[in-house]
A and B are shown apart, each in its own frame.
Chain A
Amino acid sequence: MNKEELKLNKYEKLGLKIGLEIHQQLDSSKLFCECPSKLVDEYDYEIVRGLRPTQSELGDVDRAAVEEAQKKLRFKYQVTENNCLVETDEEPPHEPNKNAVNAVLMFSKMVNAKIVDEIYFMRKIVIDGSNTSGFQRTALIAVDGKIDDVKIQTVCLEEDAARKISEENGFVVYRLDRLGIPLIEIATAPDIKTPEQAKEVAEKIGTMLRATKKVKRGIGTIRQDLNVSIKDGARVEIKGVQDLKSIPDVVEKEISRQLRLIEIKNKLNERKAKISHEIFDITMIFEKTECKIIKTMLEKNGKVLGIKLNGLSGLLGDGENRFGKELAGRVKAAGLKGLFHSDELPNFPASKTHKSMQLVNWEVCPNYGITENEVEEIRKNMKLDVNDAFVIVVEKDNIARNGLNIILSRAEECIKGVPEEVRRALPDNTTEYMRPMPGAARMYPETDIPPVRVKKEEIDKIKLPELFDEKIKRFVEAYKISFESAKQLVAQGYDEMFEGFVKKYEPKIVSRVFLNIIPEIEKEEKDVSRIDEKMLDEVFNALKNGRFAKEGLTAVLCSMLTSNIGVEEAIKNTGLGGLSEKEVESVIEKILEEKKEFVKEKGKNAFAPLMGLVMKKLRGKADGKIISSILKRKIKEMVSE
């Protein structure tokens, strides 16, 4: 067995299953209005809104919806110049943007997915405030596609959410510039078997999306979510993986987290652990405490409340994937500042204490002076056994109780194993708790948008774009440019313009302009964004007609840009006006006449030194090749005289 197979075998044993969900912004105006799909640095004014979860007839108000509602947050929306009444939920959506729909249809066709005959936009309830309406508009456009042996379950078209800016005094602040930007959402089946394969599939999807030429480029325009599960673990959704390279590491870290939780579960089952739901008020123990955090909170009418976690002693605080961290993640989501648990009290190892009380690292509340005595009192008060752990929080009564109840229900889950949940990827590739896995049934039709009929003829008409690999190969073969140049042209998105120009002009020159000359000019801090197709065509045309030599390309383009002038004027200004062969000949003849002695003496060997001299006079005014051939001929003539 080779190394690869060994690896595969390892993941197979773990029962690893990975699914990908990719969101990519499409390059059009917004999905349901004509506002530009651009982010901005400033906003014009703020509006304040609240959201209420809609009651469902089935009574099952969605789990995630309930949790959001419990936070009872109000939202501030920053309205920008790229917004209209549609994004502020003050006007019904307009008809879906056709370019966006077409982009999704094209991708669906590329992965051979089954496209629906009529598209319906749905309202998917999201009440974290990221959508002013309280729902995200989304439509399923195709199902059952395939990339290699990974099934593409669904291809959807949806609107992007508002950008979260901050949280302040009970408000979550969002900016509305991003709201409504069209997104294609591609979800694979959990067919991916190794962390490395997950990266490869994500890369492939990314390349295919870029090949459509209908997607936005740049940071923040594509987002990857992962679904990871292992045997005896659970499906965990990881949101916002920063970049493709970190995918394998994120998966590895999730595998260890789940393995650790399974281990805890096994230990708890051994200890026959049970969770009791009693909450203890132990404020009196801390009446004279030296612990600063507790002292300050008590002065503000806070309370010290605690719970007993039967059988969890020693499992909260050790190892890389501390269970204490799991608990802290949950209470953070519930708006509590921190917690103390028995595995870190007292005499918390100095190496793990943290600099400030800002609680940058959530899972650890440094033991600021909680004494052994106090811990002993707590254990007595709650009647703790050796195997039992405790968690205490210090906060206003209701907040504390709410937090402890959340910890209790999380602890209850740990007896069962790994809970299904949504987690957020962090920069170090670990994850933190975000919210419970949303239930499936929280969509209903968006009645403001008429269904979109998709005719078979329209699908047939869509021409599939050439994939990048194929295109690079074709460029190398057809235009005799280097592989590297072809790759760069495609990667930088110059491929279409390039193909337009090479019908009339020399491929090598066109490629050099895109890959060398334009970047060179950009280095001189000139605004190259003003270089357009028409301008380049003028330049190439003048070059072809011998108006100047290719050595003068940089100077001519530069001059056109700086002085905002046409190519003819630029040639004149730079003094690069091309010379006719006759004129070149006469310049060369004049130099040879002056160096006659030298030529007679050196014969053919006079060429190299003289070429330098000639080029000094003629650089940019005529083609180097022509100059050299004339010079050669003239020397030959002179020598044979």
Chain B
Amino acid sequence: MRAEVLIKKFKAEYGDEIELLTEKNYTKLSNIEFQHKISTEKLSVAEFTGVLMPSHNDIITLKLKNGYNIGVKIDEKTKIVVVKKKEKKIGMLRNIKHLKGKPVISLISTGGTIASYVDYRTGAVHPALTAEELAFSVPELTEKYNVKAKVLFSILSEDMKSEYWRKLAKETASELNSGADAIIIPHGTDTMGYTSAALSFMLKNLTGPVILVGSQRSSDRPSSDASMNLLSAASLSESDIGEVVAVMHGETSDTYSLIHRGTRVRKMHSSRRDAFKSINEKPIGKIDENITFFQDYRKRNKGKTEVNDKIEEKVALIYFYPGLTPEFFDYAVKNNKGLVIAGTGLGHVSSDLIEIIRNAKIPIVMSSQCLNGRVNMNVYSTGRDLLNAGAIPGEDMLPETAFVKLMYVLGQTKKMEEIRKMMTENMVGEISSRTAID
């Protein structure tokens, strides 16, 4: 017997308070008594009583009065008595007042949950998406800032695509141009670096900071890093920075957040709070009670924020590994308009691939799997051969940033020489000519 069939048969719904009766319980009752029970709920013979939860296979999941969920195996003889229909969900809202003289923050959601609330009756976690819901979940936010919130789309971080970047860039510009002092974009952490790089290239003359923020511990937990990251991000609305940045925990303690440049930030740990690091440069700054900047940054622009969302989607990022076959590589070259390789060390791939690169009609950019450091293809003969074959050195760009940049550059020009020039020159802080010793 499948749970959903049984639930349907007895006209129960998730969220209803039910009694679950197994054969050995109710056979004590006559049929009349059973009917009586359904109408009066007076006889207590239930195996279990609780709130019906989403169930699977042959298991009914119940949330008992003591708060615990348990799974109970059912069969053809199991019966359900609905004791109480579920109550309508009451959304938790809080009224927001306009705060005179306080910054306006526009919060654009993409599907990453930065705030949420829990329905302990059913155990369901609900995302806080509107400003009113946010005010309820993170009251400090609306006590200090004027917050506007909207859901642009609702996708998982790993489902992010370039068309979403475009939408996001346009929405960001439009919010800035209609008076927002800062844009906060709650984003899933897995692909945050790609989105921040894309926005960095697409948005020009920023009149305020565009801040991507996420959480490594989901926002329903008391220990979540979400609210601290969010409040740190919000504090940037009072600064003069006008760049695309990511704001995340600086260390495992809840002590400070770091501001990372959108083209330099990378998730370097699968689970830690301080997973996000600036690669090949210092973070822009640090936020605790104050904001401290560690290096130069672009200031807010006067006038209007502009968008250039022309990009080429057919670009691939390939991670080289020993034994990568020429056939596989050739397929990638033939089916794309541009290619970024995360090569070994200073920027190498097997010499088997060099001929394919030489014959390729598309730009092929070399970056390094080392992430830290710069490619240099003059040191070893393979590197020199690759350069001769036409590979473009990606300098000290992250492979992911080089990939996003190539999409953007191909949106601007098809001329190989221009592409080469644009890819090797710094555009928005993604390349530096000097690497500091730290």
Contact = CB atoms under 8 A, between A and B. Distances in A.
B59 interface: yes
Contact of B118 (A54, A118, A138): A54
Interface in A74-88: 74, 85, 88
B254 interface: yes
B73 interface: yes
A335 interface: no
B158 interface: no
Contacts of A124: 67
Interface string A185-222: 00000000000000000000000000000000000000
A116 interface: yes
A88 B67 contact: no
Interface in B238-287: 252-255, 271-273
Contacts of A445: 69, 123
Given A135-B222, A140-B70, A444 B272 contact: no
A55 B66 CA distance: 19
A231 interface: no
Interface in B40-95: 59, 61, 64-73, 89-92
Contacts of A132: 223
Interface string A56-75: 11110000000000000010
B217 A57 contact: no
Contact of A48 (B118, B126, B223, B255): B255
A444 B118 contact: yes
A309 interface: no
A133 B221 contact: yes
Contacts of B223: 49, 51, 89, 132-134
Interface in A121-141: 122-125, 127, 132-135, 138-140
B296 interface: no
A120 B221 contact: no
Among A57, A59, A116, A445, the one with the most B-chain Cβ atoms within 10 Å of its Cβ is A57
Contact of A444 (B217, B220, B252): B220
Interface stretch (A162-170, A435-443, A618-626): A435-443
A118 B71 contact: yes
Interface string A395-431: 0000000000000000000000000000000000000
Contact of A443 (B92, B120, B253): B120
B49 to A, nearest CB: 11
Contacts of A91: 271-272
B67 A441 contact: yes
Contacts of B165: none
Interface string B122-147: 01111000000000110000000000
Interface centre among B61, B220, B222, B224 (most CB of A within 10 A): B222
A17 to B, nearest CB: 18
A91 B124 CA distance: 22
Contacts of B136: 55
A47 B273 CA distance: 12
B227 A440 contact: no
B121 interface: yes
A440 B69 contact: no
- Listed residue (B59, B119, B223) with the most chain A CB atoms within 10 angstroms of its CB: B223
B388 to A, nearest CB: 46
A118 B222 contact: no
A5 to B, nearest CB: 33
A56 B271 contact: no
Nearest to B140: A52
Contact of B59 (A118, A135, A443): A118
Interface string A94-116: 00000000000000000000001
Interface string A532-568: 0000000000000000000000000000000000000
A116 B71 contact: yes
A119 interface: yes
A50 B220 contact: no
A90 B272 contact: yes
A154 interface: yes
B34 interface: no
A442 B124 CA distance: 12
B14 interface: no
Output the residue of B89, B118, B217 with the most chain A CB within 10 A. B118
Contacts, number: 135
B120 A140 contact: no
A117 interface: yes
A493 interface: no
Contacts of A49: 223, 253-254
Contacts of A92: 271
A47 B252 contact: yes
B117 interface: yes
B222 A55 contact: no
B92 A120 contact: no
Contacts of B70: 116, 118-120, 140
Interface residues of B, number: 43
A451 interface: yes
B66 A154 contact: yes
Contacts of A440: 65-67
A442 B59 contact: no
A54 B273 CA distance: 19
A56 B117 contact: yes
A50 B137 CA distance: 16
B92 A57 contact: yes
Contacts of B224: 52
Given A57-B92, A120-B70, A444-B125, A85 B117 contact: no
B64 to A, nearest CB: 7
Nearest to A187: B66
A53 interface: yes
A54 to B, nearest CB: 5
A429 to B, nearest CB: 29
Contacts of B65: 440
A67 B254 CA distance: 21
Nearest to B222: A134
Contacts of B66: 140, 154, 440
Given A55-B118, A440-B67, A441-B67, A117 B273 contact: no
A55 B220 CA distance: 8
Given A122-B67, A139-B68, A117 B117 contact: no
A120 B66 CA distance: 14
B73 A117 contact: yes
Nearest to A50: B254
Given A51-B222, A54-B220, A55-B136, A140 B68 contact: yes
Contacts of A135: 221-222
A132 B91 CA distance: 29
Nearest to A445: B123
A140 B221 contact: no
B428 to A, nearest CB: 32
Contacts of A59: 90, 92
Interface in A285-300: none
Contacts of A453: 59, 71
Contacts of A120: 61, 68-71
Contacts of A138: 68
- For the complex of A and B, the 6 pairs showing the least CB-CB separation, nearest first, are A118-B71, A134-B222, A443-B67, A140-B68, A444-B123, A117-B73
Given A48-B254, A50-B254, A120-B69, 19 more contacts: A48-B253, A49-B254, A54-B117, A54-B222, A55-B137, A56-B117, A56-B119, A90-B272, A117-B73, A122-B68, A132-B223, A134-B222, A140-B69, A440-B66, A441-B121, A443-B120, A443-B123, A444-B123, A453-B59
Interface of B: 59, 61, 64-73, 89-92, 116-121, 123-126, 136-137, 217, 220-224, 227-228, 252-255, 271-273
29 contacts: A48-B254, A54-B221, A55-B118, A55-B136, A55-B137, A57-B126, A58-B90, A88-B252, A90-B272, A91-B272, A116-B71, A119-B71, A120-B61, A120-B68, A120-B69, A134-B222, A135-B222, A140-B66, A140-B68, A140-B69, A156-B68, A440-B65, A443-B68, A443-B120, A444-B120, A444-B123, A444-B125, A451-B59, A453-B59
